[in-house]
A and B are shown apart, each in its own frame.
Chain A
Amino acid sequence: MAVIENAVEATAVAQPPTDKPIINDFAIVVATANGTGSQTANMALLRAIFKMGVPVNGKNIFPSNIQGLPTWYHIRVSQDGYTARRETNELLVAFNETTIYQDVRDLPPGGLCLYNADFRSLPTRDDVTMVGIPVRPFVAESGLKGKLGDYIANMVYVGAMAYLLGVPLAKIDEALDVHFKQRRKFVDSNMAVVRAAYQWANDNIVYNSLYRVEPMAATAGKMLITGNEAAALGAVFGGVSFAAWYPITPSTSLIDALNDYLPRLRRDPETGQATYAVVQAEDELAAIGMILGAGWSGARAMTATSGPGISLMAEFAGLGYFSETPAVIWNVQRVGPSTGLPTRTGQGDVLFTYYLGHGDTLNVILFPASVAECFEFGVTAFDLADELQTPVFVLSDLDLGMNNWMTEPFAYPEQPMNRGKVVTAADLQRDGRFARYLDVDGDGIPYRTLPGNPHPLAAWFARGTGHNEHAVYSEKPQDWENNMLRLRRKFETARQLVPDPIIQEEADAAFGIIAFGTTQYAIDEARDRLAKQGVATGFMRLRGLPINDDVRAFIGRYERLYVVELNRDGQIHKILQTEAPEQAARLVSLAHMDGLPLTARWVVEAIAAQEAGRKEQTSDD
């Protein structure tokens, strides 16, 4: 078996040879202050590169503050299509005077810094190229003052970077046109500054940038969208008719997107009336209460929240589970415990959500890893909730939810909606009997009627207290146990219904890797790096809980498996160990948590350290 040698060197960014240009394979970091409108500028750069056909990914590393604090926007340009965060950025746009010393220090040798030449003091480094551009003259020229002037100042670096990278101005124009929704007035005033800065750079900068973007054809037909927008779109296609929520970063933009799409997409064509309602509740407790009420009556109801909101929902989650009421809860994870790091990403809510609710509660969870899956699960979650008659939790994260990702256009759902076991008045007329919690089919899933069903047998009373098969209050030990055992049978059925894991097997794989959600991108890249060193690996990405036989079988095929996740305690590792106890010893936890998206370098180093440790152990024996 190959030993992973010198993992650090092997994965460190190579120093650029001084004469050979580096095409479509580098990372840019834009340092600005929060609230200065740099998002428009950053999106313009990102979109322009995307429109040149070059794979690109943007990540906003922002503070929990509205205005004034440092913000970094990372743009990764990768001809190979890698989208994970990189620890090193070769290009820096230093437009924040308060962080410029730190930002320049972080550049690798051979890097390039474009700075605002109005700044009073500058760090010096011999091994990086420093290029300054004055900003004030361009703002003065534009005639815009105050806040608008601040906003437009960012266009100066867009123009200069376009020049340095070789991005045609026409592409920036196209990008801004999308950003401003074809309102040419805004596009033109921004473009005037971009053009002027481009020209200035052309006339004054005597440096041929080594880092260049050259057109490719790798993004044709693709689009850029955030996970939250994709989730909202999916929910609309999934038939959402009711949403209740309470504002919280990073889930807010999911409901914002719903509010954006629904008025356009969900109106009754005849009456013109809205066929949905979105309610801003007084807190998350109220939000989940509202959607359970709506879900009980047959609506496709959802909420979106993050860690602190999930904490508040615990008691209602138990009611949803026990009364068997469909509902969909999106948890766009941020970093906890407590208020934690509200604007940073993580995967720390897995254990809590899986068991959310007191007593023996078990919840169904979906793990989207891409914007396409956010869209897909936007639909699937409703189907599962209806089919299983239980709250379904979708665990996304800030990185996926709030950043823009490249994707193929979403496919219109092929399957019709699955509303699960709902009995109508006609069914009751035919059968002549109905018991709400009777396990007719042996799969643990009972039948339900919806309020409004006029048949005399239809009405039943939902309760969080002990009940028998007829939904009648009962404290009988046997009734309690039967019901709880049926709920467990239902959970066994859920194993077959949650989406299968995605598995990539390699011949001669040295070990397996298990992950879920957005750590996928760092792992894809890490596996390629390992493969280049002759280390083949198998990979399984979980897409939901509870796990099914495919998951168990995969674990069974490897002597050891690394379980990679973005939290401190190895939460999915713990769940896998509990659910596959006979294979627990094979599972090695690689958990990491610093609030930032995972990098390939971390994965390779963590695995290399483990493998080296193993080698030592075996040679000691």
Chain B
Amino acid sequence: MTETISLELTRKDFVSDQTVRWCPGCGDYSILAQMQKVLPELGIPKEKIVFISGIGCSSRFPYYMNTYGIHSIHGRAPTLASGLAAANPDLNIWVVTGDGDAMSIGGNHLIHAMRRNVDLKILLFNNRIYGLTKGQYSPTSRKGKKTKSSPMGSIEQPLNPLTLALSAEATFVARAMDTDTVHLGEVLRAAAAHEGTSFVEIYQDCVIFNPNEWAGIDDRRTRPDHVIYLEHDKPLIFGKNNDKGVRLNGFKPEVVELGGEFSEKDLIVHDETSQELAYILAHMEHPNYPPPMGVIRQVRKPTYTEELMGQVRMAQERKGVGDLQKLYHAADVWTV
């Protein structure tokens, strides 16, 4: 009898032989577990999957994925990933980054990768603190946040990763949360399916240096009353008993109780293709609003590689396929 070799991948195929070294209770563990669960479902050969990261606790993520990967330098992962994507369009490339890595030292690279719509899936683990360097404030830390490097409270306006991604014209912008594992899995699947840059902000718990950042929304029992799960074409309803919703009052979103003065038809209906709505949603921040979870914006535009290939094709059509020999012997080659 001949043995059949199964091509089916399982979670185990993506678990590397490295011992995971985050602090006990760190939110990174559950994100890792979800990723390892989702990848085998995508039907992508393992050798085509690459994880690239910068520096930070979160950036150690690729150590634990049994795939190709690069643990690079602080803030620069998008540059390596963009080069790789342009050179190897059939790879499935994930960038794992922290709020400091992506939005402080690497802010510039992040913007440009998204603007170019490079085929990358960028996962930003947002714990609103610097973990690896032991607890300095980050560009996403709240104003007034007291840390070692802001002993009197941060005086800086925090950056909102979602509005930043939107203004960089990212074609896929979503949010998930480490403790909400089932939903996180769904968002990862959606990000994987998108062509072009997928940008996912993942609320992540740094239990050591910023343990209470997501208080109220990270607990499974109270969460339904404090976040909104977005679904395309569906009204913005939330609450344990589906008794709350969000409507527009002028340009301002407003949380309303359903059943009395307002009913479902007064509510905003989610439209993943609307950049305008996306901004409104992205600005709904905890604790003033229930922060939206899920896909905020998703549109299909030509990816960087498609544009690049398009140009090459056009040039060839116009000038014919190049002949290096001829170019070399052409008279004006050496004129600068």
Contacts and interface: CB of A to CB of B under 8 A. Distances in A.
Interface string A258-273: 0100010000000000
A282 B130 CA distance: 12
A65 B104 CA distance: 21
Contact of B24 (A67, A249, A283): A67
Interface string A280-291: 101110000000
B107 A68 contact: no
A256 interface: yes
A542 B147 CA distance: 38
Nearest to B154: A280
Nearest to B209: A66
A252 interface: yes
Interface residues of B, number: 28
A37 interface: no
A66 B132 contact: yes
Interface in A11-70: 35, 64-69
A131 to B, nearest CB: 29
B23 A35 contact: yes
A282 B104 contact: yes
A263 B149 CA distance: 13
B24 A256 contact: no
Nearest to B105: A283
CB-CB nearest 8 A-B residue pairs: A283-B105, A67-B23, A247-B133, A282-B104, A247-B136, A280-B149, A66-B23, A65-B21
B149 A255 contact: yes
B134 A252 contact: yes
A66 B131 contact: yes
A246 B105 CA distance: 9
B74 A308 contact: yes
Contact of A247 (B106, B149, B208): B149
Contacts of B131: 66
Nearest to A284: B105
11 contacts: A65-B21, A66-B134, A66-B208, A68-B23, A259-B149, A263-B151, A280-B136, A280-B150, A283-B104, A308-B55, A339-B73
A338 interface: yes
B62 interface: no
Contacts of B74: 283, 308
B139 interface: yes
A339 B71 CA distance: 10
A308 B73 contact: yes
A249 B75 CA distance: 16
Contacts of A282: 104-105, 107, 139
B12 interface: no
Nearest to A259: B151
A35 B133 CA distance: 13
A280 B133 contact: no
A432 B236 CA distance: 74
Contacts of A252: 133-134, 136
B137 interface: yes
A255 B137 CA distance: 14
B148 interface: yes
A254 B93 CA distance: 38
Interface of A: 35, 64-69, 246-249, 252, 255-256, 259, 263, 280, 282-284, 308, 338-339
Contacts of B73: 308, 338-339
Contacts, number: 58
A308 B105 CA distance: 12
A119 to B, nearest CB: 19
A338 B137 CA distance: 24
Interface string B47-81: 00000000101000000000000010111000000
B133 A256 contact: no
Contacts of B130: 247
Contacts of A248: 133
A248 B74 CA distance: 10
B94 to A, nearest CB: 20
Contacts of A284: 105
B173 to A, nearest CB: 22
Given A66-B134, A67-B24, A284-B105, 17 more contacts: A35-B208, A68-B24, A247-B130, A247-B133, A247-B149, A252-B133, A256-B148, A256-B149, A259-B149, A280-B137, A280-B149, A280-B150, A282-B139, A283-B74, A308-B73, A339-B55, A339-B73
Interface in B86-144: 100, 104-107, 130-134, 136-137, 139
A276 B71 CA distance: 38
Contact of B21 (A69, A246, A283): A69
Nearest to B137: A280
Nearest to B151: A259
Nearest to B147: A280
**Among A35, A66, A246, A284, which residue has the most Cβ atoms of chain B within 10 A?**
A66
A276 to B, nearest CB: 13
A282 B99 CA distance: 11
B2 to A, nearest CB: 45
A148 to B, nearest CB: 15
Contacts of B136: 247, 252, 280
B210 to A, nearest CB: 12
A256 B147 CA distance: 11
A327 to B, nearest CB: 20
A246 B130 CA distance: 11
Contacts of B137: 280
B133 A249 contact: yes
B133 A68 contact: no
Nearest to B71: A339
Contacts of A64: 132
A336 to B, nearest CB: 11
B100 to A, nearest CB: 8
Interface in B205-229: 208-209
Nearest to B149: A280
Given A65-B21, A67-B24, A247-B136, A283 B75 contact: yes
A246 B136 CA distance: 10
A280 B23 CA distance: 25
Nearest to B148: A256
Interface string B150-183: 1100000000000000000000000000000000
A259 B150 CA distance: 9
A225 to B, nearest CB: 19
Contacts of B71: 339
B284 to A, nearest CB: 26
Interface string B19-37: 0010110000000000000
Contact of A68 (B21, B104, B106): B21
Contacts of B209: 66
A99 to B, nearest CB: 14
A590 B55 CA distance: 33
A416 to B, nearest CB: 31
Nearest to B133: A247
Contacts of B21: 65, 68-69
Contacts of A68: 21, 23-24
B58 to A, nearest CB: 12
